[in-house]
Amino acid sequence: MSGTLIIVLFAATLALTLWQFFKRGTGPVLFIKELRSFFLSPVAWVVLALVMLLNGFSFTSALTDLRAGDRTVTLAVYTFWSFPFWLAYFFIFPVITMRLFAEEQKLGTIETLLTAPVSTLQVLLSKYLAALTFYLVLWLPSMLNFLLFRINAPDSTAAIGSLQGSYTIIFLLGAFNIAIGCLASALTKNQLVAAMICFTFCLLHFLVGFVLQFVPVPEAFRGFADYISTHLHVRTFVDGLIDTRQIVYYISFAILLLTTTFHVLEFRKWKV
């Protein structure tokens, strides 16, 4: 009951914040401007092409594995539990977040943006939501692969529950790691430094949970190890088991990181 109450409070808070953001005219304008800048950047199209290539290779390899052996797991497990998925996972976030605030600081436009008649929260949410939207667009081709496969093979192993869990964890990972990237970009004016900070912390977060799964830890800490293990979360969700504790975990830490980024931007605003 307490877990359900927490999730309801989270959902209500997020809905209220987003409603306030989109209700004011400047919020949607900033969001559209930031989203347009993603699709006008050649780097974004390179990222999209690379993710499509990796997802296509992963999907093809999964189909090959299914033809070669018994269907003991779903197609989604084969696809999202593979090296190409993890390669794309660590590559995406630094590239799409490194320019969010670092570029503004390098060009000297951050002062103008922060002193304009818009709130710091609107600036932050417009950049964060634009990056998150672009991140979700990256995975649309893979959804098309599964859709076409299911149309042509209705009795296939592409189980609905497994697909729902897979894309739920992809969204949660994106919300969390893009928040890391936002904070990294707000801390420096060098885009490469921002990318390295984001990559390092995304990798460390993954490795801490991964290593704890394979080293002897006291039983009292086993629950904590399971709670922070991205490796375990992905496997759980792609198996079709949606754990509300992980939803709270990723969303709450994303909010914490965005709150920290907000205070960093406020500090810069008062320095102007």
Q: Comparing C-alpha atoms, which of 243, 49, 58, 264 is closest to residue 164?
A: 243
pLDDT of residue 43: 80
pLDDT at 88: 76
225-244 per-position pLDDT tens digit? 667 778 778 878 877 788 78
Q: Which residue has the higher pLDDT, 190 or 159?
A: 190
Whole-prediction pTM: 0.85
pLDDT tens, position by position, 200-227: 888 888 877 677 666 666 666 666 666 7
- Average pLDDT rounded to a whole number, residues 136-152: 77
Mean pLDDT of 140-167: 70
Max mean pLDDT range (80-89, 138-147, 148-157)? 138-147
Given pLDDT bands bounded at 50, 70 and 90, which one contains residue 180?
Answer: very high
CA dist 143 and 154 (Å) reads 15
Percent of the chain surpassing pLDDT 70: 73
- What band does 1 get if pLDDT is binned at 50, 70 and 90? very low
Mean pLDDT score across all residues of the chain: 78
Based on its alpha-carbon atoms, the radius of gyration of the chain, rounded to whole angstroms, reads 20
* Residue-level pLDDT at 22: 66
The per-residue pLDDT for 244 is: 80
Domain spans of the chain? 2-271
Question: Shortest CA distance to 186 belongs to which of 89, 58, 100, 86?
Answer: 100
pLDDT of residue 158 exceeding 70, the answer is no
> Are 121 and 22 within 8 A, CB to CB?
no
Are residues 76 and 163 in contact, defined by beta-carbon separation less than 8 angstroms? yes
pLDDT band of 119, cuts 50, 70, 90: confident
Mean pLDDT value across residues 78-96:
79
pLDDT band at 5 (very low <50, low <70, confident <90, very high): low
Flag whether pLDDT at 266 surpasses 80. Answer: yes
Whole-angstrom distance, CA of residue 254 vs CA of residue 71: 36
Q: Residue 83: pLDDT above 90?
A: no
How far apart CA 205 and CA 177 sit, in angstroms, is 10
Give the alpha-carbon dihedral of 40, 41, 43, 48, to 10 degrees. Answer: -20
pLDDT band of residue 17 (cuts 50, 70, 90) is: low
Most confident of 12-21, 78-87, 261-270: 261-270
pLDDT of residue 47: 85
pLDDT band at 178 (very low <50, low <70, confident <90, very high): very high
